[in-house]
Amino acid sequence: MDTRWSCALATLLAASLAGGTTQAAGDPKRGAEIYQRCQLCHSITTDDTGPHHAGLFGRKAGSVPGFPYSDAMRNSGIVWSETTLEMFLRNPQAYVPGTRMTFTGLPDPQDRADVIAYLKKATMVK
């Protein structure tokens, strides 16, 4: 078999074993614009209708002290990462049935990648 075809086949096989998707590269500047929609309920630094996002990556879902999470979120076992956030942003209610979050999701994979890139940059705890 030609080496090019072997590489292409290996790439397709790896993608299918990983769930058939590869995460798009995100643009944090565009993600900041999309995140403005999130600011109806969230902030990077303060709790509002939703919990703050500072320190999001690596944090266990439902663990911001004093925030009144749903039992579903508190008991989800999720630790926020690029992968878990991508799945959550795709469809929050499907990923965490019983969540109080009323946002229905970002259907566009590039929008999700951009928001995640923005959050990675904006939420790092210093």
More confident residue, 124 or 78: 78
Number of domains in the chain: 1
pLDDT in tens, 82-99: 999 999 999 999 999 999
Instruction: State residue 124's pLDDT score.
Output: 81
pLDDT in tens, 57-68: 999 999 999 999
Residue numbers of the domain that contains 29: 23-122
Is residue 18 over pLDDT 50? no
Residue 8 belongs to some domain of the structure = no
Residue 12 belongs to some domain of the structure = no
Residue 3 belongs to some domain of the structure = no
Is residue 121 over pLDDT 60? yes
Any long-range contacts for 15-22 (C-beta under 8 Å, 24+ apart)?
21/109
Residue 94 belongs to some domain of the structure = yes
Instruction: State residue 23's pLDDT score.
Output: 57
Sign of the CA dihedral with 96 first, then 69, 35, and 125 last = negative
Cβ atoms of residues 54 and 45 within 8 Å: yes
Instruction: State residue 126's pLDDT score.
Output: 52
> What average pLDDT does the segment 118-124 reach?
92
Residue 79 belongs to some domain of the structure = yes
Residue 47 belongs to some domain of the structure = yes
Q: How confident is the model at residue 10 (pLDDT cuts 50, 70, 90)?
A: very low
> What average pLDDT does the segment 46-50 reach?
95
Give the count of beta carbons closer than 10 Å to the beta carbon of residue 73.
Answer: 20
Residue 9 belongs to some domain of the structure = no
Residue 7 belongs to some domain of the structure = no
Task: Output the domain CATH number for residue 82.
Answer: 1.10.760.10
